[in-house]
Amino acid sequence: MFKQGKMARDLSDKEVLKMELEQLQKEMKNERIPVSTTAKELVAWIQSQAAEDPLLKGMPEKKNPFKDKGGCIIT
């Protein structure tokens, strides 16, 4: 459903329904793939990228933009 915000208040009911119908027609054109198929593809892609994932394998200190550049001393 269309969210009832400022835009919806500025449009007539007919215009809102027309927008909803257009959105549903766009969504109907999307190719539907079973979740079981896409889940397998997603797992395979994640596993193929794991070797380069810095969150899994870590990052060399030289290339780490988030490493501490020095301490802060308050006197």
Domain presence at residue 28: yes
Q: 3-32 pLDDT, tens per residue?
A: 555 555 678 899 999 999 999 999 999 999
* Non-local CB neighbours of 19 within 8 Å, separated by 6+ positions: 2, 11
For residues 3 and 19, the answer to whether their CB atoms sit within 8 Å is no
Domain presence at residue 70: no
Intra-chain end-to-end CA distance of the chain, in Å: 60
Q: Please state the pTM of the whole predicted model.
A: 0.44
Domain presence at residue 73: no
Overall domain count for the chain: 1
* Residue ranges making up the domain that contains 40: 6-51
16: exposed, middle or buried (Cβ count in 10 Å: 0-12, 13-18, 19+): middle
Domain presence at residue 43: yes
Q: Which is higher by pLDDT, 72 or 32?
A: 32
